[in-house]
Amino acid sequence: MYTDLVNFVEQLVPLNSGEWEAAYPFIESLELKRNDFFVEEGDIAQYIAFTRKGYLRVFYNHDGEEITRDISPLNTFVTALPSFISQTPSFEIIQAVTDCDLLIIHRDNLELLYNEYINWQKVGRRVMEEMFVDTQYRIYAFITQTAETRYKEMMKRYPDIFLHVPLQYIASFLGITSQSLSRLRKSIRFEE
Amino acid sequence: MYTDLVNFVEQLVPLNSGEWEAAYPFIESLELKRNDFFVEEGDIAQYIAFTRKGYLRVFYNHDGEEITRDISPLNTFVTALPSFISQTPSFEIIQAVTDCDLLIIHRDNLELLYNEYINWQKVGRRVMEEMFVDTQYRIYAFITQTAETRYKEMMKRYPDIFLHVPLQYIASFLGITSQSLSRLRKSIRFEE
DNA sequence: AATTATACTTAACAAATGATAAAAAATAAA
DNA sequence: TTTATTTTTTATCATTTGTTAAGTATAATT
């Protein structure tokens, strides 16, 4: 049940059994069916999720168009952070792309953990650091690489995502239209 | 001396005087002349900086070309995070674009603070959260906006940067060549 | 001041991506 | 299975941005 979460956290900050025991009562389980929402527009994000199974996408409504800013790989933390932090209505929408098994923690309980255990506070910091570094790399990719290179790298790094996530979301994630992605895939097919 | 730093931190996490007193001995001051390096390629980043005066840019060498991934606004934290976290040689280079007054903290001392004071650990987490949110917005801008819009928004948000940072760095930061930025600025000049 | 180096601009052409519209394919619903 | 809906692909043309090369302006050095 908790195996993947434990492994993920332990890799960042080794915790003793007391620290884990304190956390378990706060960890709830949530199953989402495909297309279910984890956070809807205007919601105040109360939970942070760890994706045990399935894929979530984070998107915005931008002039009636859905802009996918993130597709969560397996075993990562996901929430609408601006809303979660400041308890304001969320402009980010989080939806299940496939059926999902999530572990979720309520913000209030996470605060309790954070304030009681310096090591849980540290986990929070380390998770954010890693997410920040990932995001910086993505900016680097936007600056230096063409959409084709970004696509190929994504294929290499997250092949599983391509098996489960519609191409239109992937296109948006890569910063191009689905038509451009289609063209790009065609040109790759005839490459070698 | 510490005013801006104190304001910045207090806005995220209010600290008592004991927590500040514990930190002061660790805070060193560093002045950089224009073009001085804060982190050179291959260095192991030992310090995190708070920019009291002046602008730092974070860039990579990408096929002999310098790719500016970040230009630090005033009163922000800057370091080569991947290197700083894992104490590995840095591929990120950090250089002073103008003369700079920095407050810096050594990694070892920061760790001491983090491990001694849950509230300093919390500061670390909150700083990372804010930086992460900023970076996510930047990705959103890359996906949805044209270079012209990104340029205009940057003008609005950081007008001071344009007074002190060469356009070639700004172009790279926006994800375009300096020639494209030039053309773009020209077309804006003749707009109204 | 003259010289050199650096930064910025301009121009013409090439390449990448967007916009629009439509067809084809895949999936879901009846 | 048939029908309807959604997703993906194709194609054409427009726009944005890159590339190359040159010129101009600005700043640094002698």
Identify whether residues A80 and A161 lie together within a single domain: no
pTM for this prediction: 0.94
Radius of gyration of chain B (CA): 18
Give per-residue pLDDT as tens, B156-192: 999 999 999 999 999 999 999 999 999 999 999 876 5
Distance B178 CA to C2 C1' (A): 29
One domain, residues A56 and A20: yes
B115 shares contact with chain A (CB less than 8 Å): yes
A115 and A157, same domain (yes or no): no
Read off the pLDDT of residues A153-178 as tens digits, 9 standing for 90 and up.
999 999 999 999 999 999 999 999 99
Question: Using a CB-CB distance cutoff of 8 angstroms, which residues of chain B are in contact with residue A70?
Answer: 136
C1' nearest to CA of A146: which nucleotide? C16
pLDDT in tens, A7-50: 999 999 999 999 999 999 999 999 999 999 999 999 999 999 99
Residue A42 contacts strand D, CB under 7 A: no
Q: Is the pLDDT assigned to residue B62 strictly greater than 90?
A: no
> Is the CB of B182 within 7 Å of strand D?
no
Same domain, B155 and B140: no
Domain count, chain B: 2
Contact residues, chain A, for B64 at CB < 8 Å: none
The pair of structure tokens assigned to B65 is: 């070309």
Q: Nearest nt (C1') to B178 (CA)?
A: C8
User: Mean pLDDT, to the nearest integer, of A62-67?
Assistant: 88
Q: What is the mean pLDDT of residues B18-32?
A: 97
Instruction: Give percent above pLDDT 90 in chain A.
Output: 95
Taking CA atoms, what residue in B is nearest to A124?
Answer: B125
**Cβ pairs bridging A and B (under 8 Å):** 82
Same domain, B14 and B59: yes
Give A177: exposed, middle or buried? Use CB within 10 Å, 0-12, 13-18, 19+: middle
A128:B132 CB<8 A: yes
Stretch A56-77: mean pLDDT, rounded? 94
Q: Is A13 exposed, middle or buried (0-12, 13-18, 19+ CB in 10 A)?
A: middle
Is residue B38 predicted with pLDDT exceeding 60? yes
Q: Which token pair is A101?
A: 């098994």
> With contact defined as beta carbons under 8 Å apart, do B43 and B95 qualify?
no
pLDDT at B192: 55
Confidence (pLDDT) at A1:
87
- The pLDDT value given to residue A96: 96
Any B CB within 8 A of A168 CB: no
Same domain, yes or no, for A71 and A114? yes
CATH code of the domain covering residue B27: 2.60.120.10
Spanning CA of A162 to C1' of C29, the rounded length in angstroms is 26
Instruction: Please report, rounded to whole angstroms, the spatial distance between the CA atom of protein residue B61 and the C1' atom of nucleotide D22.
Output: 26
Amino acid at B145: Q
Task: Grade residue B150 by pLDDT with cuts at 50, 70 and 90.
Answer: very high
Which nucleotide is closest to B177, CA to C1'? D18
Whether the CB of B180 is less than 7 Å away from nucleic strand D comes out as yes
Residue A63 vs residue B156, higher pLDDT = B156
pLDDT digits (tens, 9 = 90+) for B99-127: 999 999 999 999 999 999 999 999 999 99
Contacts of B118 in chain A (CB under 8 A): 115, 118, 121
The pLDDT mean for chain A works out to: 95
Are both B10 and B76 inside the same structural domain? Answer: yes
Q: Of A19-28, A58-67, B80-89, B165-174, which gets the smallest average pLDDT?
A: A58-67
A60-74: average pLDDT: 93
State whether the beta carbon of B75 lies below 7 angstroms from any atom of strand D: no
For chain A, helix, strand, coil in percent to 5 are 50, 20, 25
Rounded distance, CA A116 to CA A15, Å?
Answer: 14
Task: Give the per-residue pLDDT at B189.
Answer: 85
Whether residue A36 sits in one domain with residue A94: yes
pLDDT band at A190 (very low <50, low <70, confident <90, very high): confident
Please give the mean pLDDT across all residues of chain B: 95
Residue from A132, A142, A173, A177 whose CB has the most chain B CBs within 10 Å, to mutate: A132
| Judgement on whether residues B126 and B31 belong to the same structural domain of the protein | yes
| Pair (A158, A99) in one structural domain | no
Range of the domain at A185: 145-192
Percent of chain A with pLDDT over 70: 99
Please, are residues A84 and A91 in contact by the beta-carbon 8 Å criterion? Answer: no
pLDDT at A64: 82
Residues B135 and B47 placed together within one structural domain of the fold: yes
Are residues A149 and A139 part of one domain?
no
Using the CB atom, is residue B34 less than 7 Å from strand C? Answer: no
Enumerate long-range contacts of B26-30, CB under 8 Å, 24 or more apart: B26/B105, B26/B106, B26/B109, B26/B110, B26/B112, B26/B113, B27/B2, B27/B103, B27/B104, B27/B105, B28/B103, B28/B104, B28/B105, B28/B106, B29/B1, B29/B101, B29/B102, B29/B103, B29/B104, B30/B100, B30/B101, B30/B102, B30/B103, B30/B104
pLDDT at A192: 54
